[in-house]
Structures are given as C-alpha cells and as structure tokens.
C-alpha cells in the first residue's frame, strides 16, 4: 500500500501547524520547511480548510493555523478524506468483479490487512504525531 503525495503533504502540513499552535503560518513557509511545492500545498490547505482541519486568516498578517485541537484530528479520518481509493487491489473496490471473488482468500486477507491498517490509523491523532515536539521543530528549523 502506498499513500498519495496529497495525503503525505496533508499530514506534513497538519504536523507543521501543530508544532506552531500560537503562530499563523504561510503556505510558502511550510513548503520551504519541507522542500515541497507551494502550488501543491495550496490545494492541500484548501481541502483541509473545507474539512475544518485548518483555519485560514485572510488579509495583512494572515496565515494558517489548526482549525481545531490536534487531539481531535484523527489520522484515519484524514486518510479517508485524502485518499481517493484505499482499495489495495481492484477487487476490494466498489463494483469490482472477478471470477474468483466468491472463494478468494487473497481478497479476504487483503481486506483484513487494510482494516487492520486503518484501525491503527484510527487510534493515532495529530497530537500523537508531534509528540517528539522539540526534535521535530529542530528538524524543521523552527524555534523551540
């Protein structure tokens, strides 16, 4: 299983904002910290704002901050929102048909594996991701 760049950038953006709860951050600042495209982050931030994970402040001195407490942002929820298709193989998707489907052990095993992955992600919050706060801030060049 491989997550999309969109999911990766979403989680990184949320982590960055969680590390700076008192500050307004900019897309350019976040992009520079990670060495990624500001254009891609614009799309990420827009979707995260629609979902309520990010709050945007317009105007002079505006920027971004978390839309709600990091403890309330579940990684599983974020992944379900950002991943267009969590089906590991086509037969796990909606409307998929395969001649082996009625007796396929592989489909069952992969479905169980996906459920286990998501169960773990459902237990993890954004606050959990930023627990090594000092180390992460140092790696991103943020003041402690």
What's the domain count of the chain?
1
- Domain membership of residue 57 (yes or no) is yes
- Domain membership of residue 44 (yes or no) is yes
Measure the CA–CA gap between 87 and 121, rounded to whole angstroms: 16
State the Cα torsion 27-132-66-50 to the nearest 10°: 80
CATH number, residue 76: 1.10.10.10
Measure the CA–CA gap between 47 and 99, rounded to whole angstroms: 38
- Domain membership of residue 78 (yes or no) is yes
Which pTM value belongs to this model? 0.89
pLDDT tens for the chain, 144 residues long, are 789 999 999 999 999 999 999 899 999 999 999 999 999 999 999 999 999 999 999 988 889 999 999 999 999 999 999 998 887 777 766 666 777 777 888 888 888 999 999 999 999 999 999 999 999 999 999 975
- Domain membership of residue 106 (yes or no) is no
Range(s) of the domain holding residue 21: 5-85+125-139
């Amino acid at each position: 299983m491989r997550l999309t760049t969109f999911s990766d950038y979403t989680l990184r953006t949320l982590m960055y904002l969680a590390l700076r709860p008192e500050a307004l951050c900019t897309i350019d600042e976040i992009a520079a910290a990670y060495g990624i495209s500001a254009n891609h982050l614009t799309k990420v931030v827009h979707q995260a704002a629609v979902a309520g994970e990010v709050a945007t402040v317009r105007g002079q001195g505006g920027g971004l901050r978390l839309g709600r407490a990091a403890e309330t942002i579940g990684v599983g929820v974020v992944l379900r929102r950002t991943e267009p298709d969590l089906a590991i193989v086509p037969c796990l998707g909606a409307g998929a048909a395969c001649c082996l489907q009625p007796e396929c052990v592989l489909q069952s095993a992969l479905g169980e594996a996906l459920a286990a992955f998501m169960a773990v992600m459902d237990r993890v919050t954004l606050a959990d991701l930023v627990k090594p706060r000092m180390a992460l801030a140092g790696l991103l060049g943020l003041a402690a």
